[in-house]
Amino acid sequence: MSQDIEKIIREINWDSKPINLYLPIAYTMESGGKRLRPMLADIAFEMFSGRGDTIKDAARAIEIFHNFTLLHDDLMDNSPTRRNRPTVHTRWNANTAILSGDAMLIKAYEFLGKTPSQYWEKLLPLFTKTALEVCEGQQFDMDFETIDDICIEDYFEMIRLKTAVLLACALKMGAILADASDDDQQTIYSLGIALGMAFQLKDDYLDTYGTTETLGKRVGDDILSYKKTFLLLTALHKADDSQKKRLVSAMSTKDITDEQKIKTVTLIYNELDIPQICEKVIDEYYIQANNLLEKISVPSESKEPLKTLINKLKIREK
Amino acid sequence: MSQDIEKIIREINWDSKPINLYLPIAYTMESGGKRLRPMLADIAFEMFSGRGDTIKDAARAIEIFHNFTLLHDDLMDNSPTRRNRPTVHTRWNANTAILSGDAMLIKAYEFLGKTPSQYWEKLLPLFTKTALEVCEGQQFDMDFETIDDICIEDYFEMIRLKTAVLLACALKMGAILADASDDDQQTIYSLGIALGMAFQLKDDYLDTYGTTETLGKRVGDDILSYKKTFLLLTALHKADDSQKKRLVSAMSTKDITDEQKIKTVTLIYNELDIPQICEKVIDEYYIQANNLLEKISVPSESKEPLKTLINKLKIREK
């Protein structure tokens, strides 16, 4: 089924009433994206020789949940666009974004409830725990905006919650539905955490060091919004007093253009070897993910699809 | 357990991090209210001789869900207060209301997941279906604000979804957890619908015909906000051309004080016998609820607590 992830997501029928509730959901779900989470669920399912199509509804549940978080996050961040289209609160309004998002969260549980019930005792607590963690991660992220002394450990914990646990959950759901052993379920969950950490750190990296052409969005948004990313926190940690002063001044001044601000901050990052440090940390997470993949008790040829995906994520430019 | 509903709600531990996520939830959950839904779940459970305390977590789930809907509805309606306290978006901000609400919805599922898993195949689809219906009802309610030709049937369907199904779900959950027969589960669900319809119609009635002293809030808010309640829709349906003109003019004018507006509209309602009609429809639903209670296959003394509660709701003045 691995080729058909987009198809199984698009097969979901949103043609219900009231249309003002379901149309914004259809709009959100059809807007594409990487479909990374359902892909991970499916890859894990196939790796452990899962049979039939029981993974379909779990994959749908997790993609609906992910898109629910984007919908509400975009509203909270007041983001005008997502994937080159107006966000739901922009195209409709804030109330529509709130209520359609709520319905998506419930729909995610509905699809989870379409999986064979003998798996619910494992799937439901995992999904619920993950969903709460994602909310907690989002709250920590919002809290960080107004806290000055975030340490890098806090940041790692935030991205673990906000991003990594959902990737790990997707992989583990695939493993559960394929009747993998408890050890393998645990190992693939840990692999998902490592992969998710690398994934988010790469996002931070690309926001400054990607190109507009490959990213499809402006480079430097995190700098302009003074976002406490791994890059900034590491730079602040490594900087001497004079560098720190220049960095804080460049980040917070309103006297220079956006382009000048991005350029100045990037130059300080470069002075401090931030891109190299960031690449190294990302690499370490990928090594960890691959080591965990080694430990999984299936023939190595079964591991190829996940290995390929990990490598694809590693070299991605967007 | 029936005396301890407030206690089992207050026993829920919200002392988690990040506090900016969980404190607004604790604030919402401690603010009281009738606790009607967990009470219904418990009464049904006891009526069917349910054993142990398996009902506790289902009752908590349903009360958390109900409070989640209030939290998000208050934000969408921009209501400044609820139960004489500032609403979450007023006391904190809109983003807090969105994200804490999301976490509450997930928490409701977490508590549902604490019930014995042999009941999940019945409880989960019921809860999920109900939760979606409540969202649909809220959307219809918002849609009605901008639609001029709402008929009374549309209104009944809206309040069935927005209010009645959750009361019905609470009763049915109690029945499921007490191993009631499928017939009795269905009957108590229908009873809950009738009770919920009566409950919402009484809310509409009291908003115009209650007193500030007993209600604890201003009388006439629905009139001032031109809300398409059963009272207004029935009045518009019954009015002749001249009465209709006076009614629409009184509802929409900005040239008179709030007090004058409430007084004028209420007088037209009185001319059209709206309070009597409303009382009659409410009574019919209560008769229906009591007839359904008769049909349930338990000894009549077991039915007393529900009978008492129905009667209490019937004569409530707030």
DSSP state of A179: T
Helix axes A55-77, A120-144, angle to 10 degrees: 20
Check CB contact under 8 Å for A132 and B107. yes
Contact criterion met (CB < 8 Å) for A132 and B105: no
Chain A residues with beta carbon closer than 8 angstroms to that of B154: none
pTM more than 0.95: yes
B142–A99 CB contact, under 8 Å: yes
Centre a 10 Å sphere on the Cβ of residue B146 and count the other Cβ atoms it contains.
6
Mean pLDDT of chain A: 96
Which residues of B fall within a CB distance of 8 Å from A76?
95, 98-99
Q: What is the ipTM for the molecules in this complex?
A: 0.97
Q: What are the residues whose beta carbons fall under 8 Å from the beta carbon of B59, sequence distance 6 or more?
A: B5, B8, B9, B37, B38, B41, B42, B170
CA dist A165 and A170 (Å) reads: 9
Whether B113 and A132 lie within 8 Å, measured CB to CB? no
- E strand or H helix that includes residue A285: helix A274-295
Closest residue in chain A to residue B96, using alpha carbons only: A139
Per-residue pLDDT of chain B (318 residues; tens, 9 = 90+): 445 899 999 999 999 999 999 999 999 999 888 999 999 999 999 999 999 999 999 999 999 999 999 999 999 999 999 988 999 999 999 999 999 999 999 999 999 999 999 999 999 999 999 999 999 999 999 999 999 889 999 999 999 999 999 999 999 999 999 999 999 999 999 999 999 999 999 999 999 999 888 777 788 999 999 999 999 999 999 999 999 999 999 999 999 999 999 999 999 999 999 999 999 999 999 999 999 999 999 999 999 999 999 999 999 888
> A125 and B102: CB-CB below 8 Å?
no
Cross-chain residue pair B139–A106, CB shorter than 8 Å = no
CA dist., res. A226 & res. A217, Å (int)? 17
C-alpha angle B56/B59/B64, rounded to 5°? 125
Contact call for A135 and B106, based on CB within 8 A: yes
How many other CB atoms are there within 10 angstroms of residue A78's CB atom?
Answer: 11
- Whether residue A1 is predicted with pLDDT greater than 60 in this model: the reply is no
Of A25, A151, A157, A30, the closest CA to residue A83 belongs to: A30
CA distance A220 to A114: 42
pLDDT score for A3: 54
pLDDT for position A217: 76
Q: Is the pLDDT of residue A56 over 70?
A: yes
Mean pLDDT of the A218-235 span: 94
Which positions in chain A have a beta carbon within 8 angstroms of at least one beta carbon in chain B? 16-18, 20-21, 72, 75-76, 94-95, 98-99, 101-103, 105-107, 109-110, 113, 117, 120-121, 124-125, 128-129, 131-132, 135-136, 138-140, 142-143
CATH class (in words) of the domain with range A181-318? mainly alpha
| Structure tokens, A160 | 């673990």
Taking the C-alpha atoms of residue B194 and residue B290, their distance in angstroms, rounded to an integer, is 9
Kindly state the tokens that stand for A270: 């470069």
Which residues of chain A are within 8 Å of residue B138 when distances are taken between CB atoms? 99
Cβ neighbours of residue A213 closer than 8 Å, sequence gap 6 or more:
none
Residue pLDDT, tens place only, A291-304: 999 999 999 999 99
Question: Which helix H or strand E contains A13, and what residues bound it?
Answer: none
> Which residue in B has a C-alpha nearest to residue A76's C-alpha?
B95
Rounded (10°) CA dihedral A99, A139, B14, B135: 0
The minimum CA-CA distance between B20 and chain A, rounded to whole Å, is 7
Q: What's the half-sphere exposure (Cβ side, CA atoms, 13 Å) at B33?
A: 19
CB contact under 8 A, A99 and B117: no
pLDDT of A66-117, one tens digit each? 999 999 999 999 999 998 899 999 999 999 999 999 999 999 999 999 999 9
Spatial separation of the C-alpha atoms in residues B43 and B2, rounded to whole Å = 7
Q: Which amino acid appears at position A23 of this protein?
A: L
CATH of domain A1-180: 1.10.600.10
User: In this complex, do A98 and B76 lie within 8 Å of one another by their Cβ atoms?
Assistant: yes
**Distances from the Cα of B279 to the Cα of A268, B158, B205, B286, angstroms:** 74, 19, 8, 10
CA A239 to chain CA centroid, Å, is 29
Q: CATH 1.10.600.10 occupies which residues in chain A?
A: 1-180, 181-318
Taking an 8 Å cut-off on Cβ atoms, the answer to whether A124 and B121 are in contact is no
**Contact state of A142 with B72 under an 8 Å Cβ cutoff:** no
Look at residue B218 in the predicted model and tell me its pLDDT: 81
Q: Minimal Cα–Cα distance from A273 to chain B, Å?
A: 33
Q: Which residues of A touch B124 (CB under 8 A)?
A: 109, 113, 120, 124
**The pair of three-digit structure tokens given for residue B164, joined into one six-digit string:** 């009645």
Nearest to A278 by CA among A222, A240, A224, A225: A222
Listed ranges A170-184, A204-218, B204-218; the one with the highest mean pLDDT: A170-184
Q: How confident is the model at residue A32 (pLDDT cuts 50, 70, 90)?
A: confident
Chain position carrying tokens 């030709």: B149
Q: Which of A105, A117, A124 sits opposite B102 (nearest CB)?
A: A105
- In chain B, residues with a C-beta closer than 8 Å to the C-beta of A110 are 128, 132
CA dist., res. B167 & res. B138, Å (int): 15
* B139/A109 CB distance under 8 A: no
Chain A hits for B150, CB-CB cut-off 8 Å, are: none
What is the per-residue pLDDT for B3? Answer: 54
* Residue B261: exposure state from Cβ atoms within 10 A (0-12, 13-18, ≥19): buried
Partner-chain residue, chosen from A102, A124, A125, that has the shortest CB–CB distance to B72:
A102
Binary contact (B95, A142; C-beta < 8 A)? yes
